[in-house]
C-alpha cells in the first residue's frame, strides 16, 4: 500500500467537506481515517518501562451512522496490539459521520526488535487498513505528550502556539530531530520549534491559520520526532478553522446638522469592536476632498485626517471642522475608511454635513441598534435626545417597518424640542421572531418648516443560546486495569456560530467518582477553549466493571438556557491474557517434502484479579 497516497487521498476527502462523503450507502460507504502518518502508526518502547501512550485515530464515513468493525492484527508475534483495549471492537460513525478509535500496544515480555501489525476497519464492502509499527529497545525511547492533537480550533487569519512535552522513557536527555512530516493543504501553515532539540527542553507547535486557504475549514498534518538510536514518534494534528475576527462598527452613518452662524456641531463617536474575543489592531482615514471632517481618539481632539494603532474595543470620534468650508447652504458627504494592518478595508463610515440658514433637528445618536439572543433578556430601550440648532421646533414622530413587523415603538409621538425620544422593543412581537436582522426607522417631522430626519432602527436576533457538540454519544473508554488510554476531545459549538461562553461539570453515576479528567472547566465556542479534552484517571486502578458519568455543558451567556448532557462511559476489564492452542507443534519432514500446514488458534481472556 502506498501510504503517502493514502494520506493525500484522505486529506482531500476531509478538506472537501460533507459533499465528498455524500451519496454513498452503508453497504458501500466512503471510509477515511485521520490519525495515521504517511508511513504507519508508530510506537516506541524501552524494556522495563511503562507501556507507550495509546494513539487515537478518527474514522469518517459517508453516509453517517455506518456500522464498522475494527480488528487488531499483529503480524510478527501475537498479543501486543489492541484497538479500544481489545482484539476486535465494533461501533458506528454516529450521526456526525465520525468516531474515534484508541490504538494501544502492550509490549511487556517482547524482546528487543521491530514488530509490525495492522488495524483493519471494515464497513460494508469497504476496508481501510492502518499499518502499526512497534519498536522495542533496551535503550531510552522518545515520548511525546500529547500523543495527538485532534480538532485544534483556530480563527481564520489567526495563529496559535501550543506547548509540547518531549521526554524519554528513562529521564535521560536524548537529542532528536523534528520535521513537519505532512500537511494538507501544502501552504506551510504548520511549523514546530525546538530551540534545544533534546528531551526535557521546551518545544512548541505553531498553527498559522492565515496561511490556510479561505475555502478550507479543516486542515491536517503530522510532526515526526526522530532519534537515530532512540526511536521515532509521529504526532498527528487536525485543525478546525473558524471565521476570523472582523471589525464591527456602530453607527455606520452620522449626520452633522449646522445652522450658519450658530454653534459648531459636537463630535460624534463610532464604536469599533471585534466580532470575536480577539482584539484587532486598526487605523482610520478620511477620504480625500473632505477637509471638513477630522478623526480623533478623544471627543475634544485634536483631530487629523488619519489615526492609527487603535485597538478594539474603542471609540473613534468624528469631529467636524466648519471653518474648512464656505458658510453657504450645502450638503457635504465624507467617507471614513477603517482598515486592519496590511491595508485590508474592513468597514466604511458615511458622514454628512448639512449646512442651512434655518434651524435644524439635532440628535445625540443617529441610529438605534439592538442585539438579542433567543431565550435571553430583552434589551433596554434606547433614549435619544432630540434638539435644535437654535429655536425650539415642534415635531411629530412616525415609525415604519421594513422587516419584522411592528417590533418597536417610539415615544412621544409629538412635542417640542428639546425632548428625549424613547425607542422600545415590543416583547409580544419579539417573541414571534426567529433569528435574523430586522429593520425599520423613526421619522421626525417638523411642524415649523425644518427638514425631517430619519432614525434607522436595527434589531439583530441571534440563534438560540443552545450549544451543540461534535459527538453526542462518545464511545466508552475501555481498557484493562491501570491501562493508560488515549485522550479524547469534545468540540463545543453554538447553533448560530456565535461565541457563547459555557461551563463544564461532571455528574458521576454508577460506580466510583473522580475518575474522569477534563480540561478546561469553562470556555467559549469559536475559540481554542471550546475544545474539551477528556481522559480517565487510571491511578489508583479501578476494579473491573462499568462506570458512568455525565458531562454537563451549560451556556452562561443567557439566563435559564438549557445545558447539554453528554454520557461518558468507562469499561474496566481485568488484565488481558492471550492463550494459544495447541501450546506446541510437532513438525515432521520426510525428504524434501515440506511439513504439513498446522493451525494455531489465539484467544484472549481477561483476569478480574486486582
Cell numbers linked to 254: 452620522
Task: Taking residues 176-188, report their average pLDDT.
Answer: 86
How sure is the predictor about 469, in pLDDT bands with cuts at 50, 70 and 90? confident
- pLDDT for 342: 66
pLDDT higher than threshold 50 for residue 120? yes
How sure is the predictor about 577, in pLDDT bands with cuts at 50, 70 and 90? low
* SS3 call for 434: coil
Q: Which residues contact 291 (CB under 8 A, 6 or more apart)?
A: 321, 324, 325
Cell numbers linked to 517: 479528567
- pLDDT for 3: 32
Strand order in the sheet with 247-250: 247-250, 268-274, 314-320, 293-296
- Bond preceding residue 234 cis, omega within 30 of 0: no
Q: Which residues contact 45 (CB under 8 A, 6 or more apart)?
A: 51, 52, 105, 107, 110, 134, 135, 136, 137, 141, 169
What pLDDT, in 10s, does the model give residues 28-67? 554 455 444 444 677 888 888 888 878 777 777 767 778 8
Strand order in the sheet with 501-508: 477-480, 564-573, 545-555, 501-508, 522-524
Mean pLDDT of the chain: 82
- pLDDT for 20: 33
How sure is the predictor about 510, in pLDDT bands with cuts at 50, 70 and 90? low
What pLDDT, in 10s, does the model give residues 274-315? 877 677 889 999 987 899 999 999 999 899 999 998 998 899
Domains and CATH numbers, the chain: 245-357 (2.60.40.10)
b/e code 90-99 from CB counts within 10 Å (16+ = b): ebbbbebbbb
pLDDT higher than threshold 80 for residue 466? no
- pLDDT for 153: 76
Share of the chain above pLDDT 70, in %: 85
Q: How many whole angstroms separate alpha carbon 609 and alpha carbon 534?
A: 27
- pLDDT for 36: 42
pLDDT higher than threshold 70 for residue 15? no
- pLDDT for 604: 61
Task: Taking residues 412-437, report their average pLDDT.
Answer: 93
More confident residue, 112 or 32: 112
In DSSP terms, 564 is beta-bridged to 553
Q: Which of 318-322, 424-428, 546-550 is predicted with the least confidence, judged by mean pLDDT?
A: 546-550
Which runs of consecutive H residues, i.e. helices, occur in 396-450? 427-430
- pLDDT for 408: 98
How sure is the predictor about 495, in pLDDT bands with cuts at 50, 70 and 90? low
Quick one: which H or E segment has residue 165?
Answer: strand 159-168
Task: Taking residues 204-212, report their average pLDDT.
Answer: 89
Please count the other Cβ atoms lying within 10 Å of the Cβ belonging to residue 603. Answer: 10
Q: Which of 126-135, 315-324, 332-341 is predicted with the least confidence, judged by mean pLDDT?
A: 126-135
pLDDT higher than threshold 70 for residue 465? no
- pLDDT for 449: 80
pLDDT higher than threshold 70 for residue 22? no
More confident residue, 333 or 55: 333
- pLDDT for 607: 55
- Which of these, 359, 296, 290, lies nearest to 324 by C-alpha position? 290
Q: Which of 14-28, 80-94, 380-394 is predicted with the least confidence, judged by mean pLDDT?
A: 14-28
Task: Taking residues 528-539, report their average pLDDT.
Answer: 84
How sure is the predictor about 16, in pLDDT bands with cuts at 50, 70 and 90? very low
What pLDDT, in 10s, does the model give residues 214-265? 888 778 888 888 888 777 787 888 888 877 777 888 888 999 999 999 999 9
How sure is the predictor about 341, in pLDDT bands with cuts at 50, 70 and 90? confident
Amino acid at each position: 500500500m502506498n501510504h503517502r497516497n493514502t494520506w493525500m487521498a484522505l486529506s482531500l476527502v476531509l478538506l472537501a467537506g460533507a459533499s465528498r462523503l455524500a451519496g454513498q450507502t452503508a453497504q458501500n460507504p466512503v471510509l477515511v481515517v485521520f490519525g495515521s502518518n504517511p508511513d504507519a502508526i508508530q510506537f516506541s518502547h524501552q524494556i522495563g518501562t511503562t507501556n507507550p501512550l495509546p494513539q487515537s485515530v478518527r474514522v469518517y464515513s459517508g453516509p453517517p451512522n455506518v456500522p464498522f468493525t475494527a480488528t487488531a492484527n499483529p503480524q510478527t508475534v501475537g498479543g501486543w496490539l489492541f484497538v479500544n483495549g481489545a482484539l476486535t471492537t465494533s461501533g458506528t460513525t454516529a450521526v456526525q459521520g465520525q468516531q474515534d478509535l484508541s490504538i494501544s500496544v502492550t509490549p511487556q515480555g517482547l524482546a528487543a526488535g521491530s514488530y509490525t501489525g495492522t488495524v483493519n476497519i471494515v464497513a460494508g464492502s469497504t476496508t481501510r487498513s492502518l499499518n502499526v509499527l512497534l519498536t522495542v529497545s533496551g535503550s531510552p525511547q522518545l515520548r511525546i505528550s500529547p500523543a495527538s492533537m485532534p480538532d485544534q480550533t483556530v480563527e481564520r487569519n489567526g495563529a496559535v502556539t501550543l506547548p509540547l512535552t518531549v521526554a524519554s522513557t528513562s529521564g535521560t536527555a536524548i537529542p532528536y530531530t523534528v520535521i513537519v512530516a505532512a500537511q494538507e493543504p501544502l501552504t506551510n501553515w504548520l511549523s514546530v520549534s525546538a530551540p534545544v532539540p533534546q528531551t526535557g527542553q521546551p518545544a512548541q507547535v505553531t498553527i498559522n491559520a492565515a496561511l490556510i486557504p479561505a475555502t478550507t475549514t479543516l486542515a491536517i498534518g503530522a510532526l515526526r520526532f526522530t532519534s537515530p538510536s532512540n526511536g521515532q514518534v509521529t504526532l498527528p494534528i487536525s485543525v478546525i478553522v473558524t471565521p476570523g475576527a472582523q471589525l464591527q462598527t456602530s453607527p455606520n452613518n452620522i449626520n452633522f446638522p449646522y445652522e450658519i452662524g450658530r454653534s459648531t456641531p459636537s463630535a460624534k463617536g463610532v464604536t469599533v469592536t471585534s466580532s470575536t474575543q480577539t482584539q484587532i489592531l486598526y487605523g482610520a482615514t478620511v477620504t480625500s476632498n473632505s477637509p471638513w471632517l477630522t478623526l480623533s481618539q478623544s471627543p475634544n481632539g485634536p483631530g487629523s485626517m488619519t489615526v492609527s494603532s487603535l485597538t478594539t474595543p474603542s471609540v473613534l470620534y468624528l469631529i467636524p471642522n466648519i471653518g474648512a468650508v464656505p458658510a453657504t447652504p450645502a450638503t457635504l458627504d465624507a467617507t471614513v475608511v477603517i482598515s486592519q494592518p496590511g491595508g485590508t478595508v474592513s468597514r466604511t463610515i458615511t458622514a454628512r454635513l448639512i449646512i442651512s440658514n434655518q434651524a435644524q433637528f439635532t440628535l445625540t445618536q443617529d441610529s438605534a441598534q439592538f442585539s438579542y439572543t433567543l431565550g435571553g433578556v430583552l434589551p433596554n430601550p434606547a433614549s435619544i435626545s432630540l434638539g435644535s440648532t437654535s429655536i425650539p421646533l415642534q415635531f411629530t414622530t412616525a415609525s415604519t417597518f421594513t422587516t419584522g413587523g411592528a417590533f418597536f415603538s417610539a415615544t412621544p409621538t409629538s412635542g417640542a424640542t428639546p425632548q428625549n425620544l424613547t425607542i422600545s422593543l415590543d416583547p409580544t412581537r419579539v417573541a414571534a421572531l426567529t433569528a435574523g436582522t430586522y429593520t425599520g426607522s423613526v421619522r421626525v417631522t417638523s411642524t415649523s418648516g425644518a427638514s425631517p430626519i430619519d432614525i434607522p432602527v436595527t434589531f439583530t436576533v441571534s440563534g438560540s443560546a443552545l450549544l451543540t457538540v461534535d459527538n453526542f454519544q462518545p464511545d466508552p473508554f475501555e481498557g484493562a486495569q491501570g491501562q493508560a488510554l488515549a485522550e479524547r476531545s469534545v468540540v463545543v459549538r453554538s447553533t448560530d456560530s456565535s461565541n457563547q461562553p459555557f461551563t463544564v461539570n461532571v455528574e458521576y453515576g454508577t460506580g466510583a467518582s473522580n475518575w474522569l479528567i477534563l480540561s478546561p472547566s469553562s470556555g467559549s465556542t469559536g475559540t481554542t477553549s471550546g475544545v474539551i479534552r477528556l481522559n480517565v484517571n487510571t491511578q489508583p486502578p479501578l476494579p473491573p466493571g462499568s462506570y458512568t458519568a455525565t458531562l454537563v455543558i451549560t451556556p452562561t451567556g443567557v439566563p435559564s438556557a438549557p445545558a447539554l448532557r453528554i454520557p461518558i462511559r468507562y469499561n474496566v476489564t481485568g488484565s488481558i491474557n492471550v492463550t494459544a492452542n495447541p501450546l506446541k507443534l510437532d513438525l515432521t519432514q520426510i525428504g524434501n517434502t515440506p511439513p504439513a500446514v498446522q493451525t494455531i488458534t489465539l484467544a484472549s481472556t481477561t483476569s478480574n484479579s486486582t
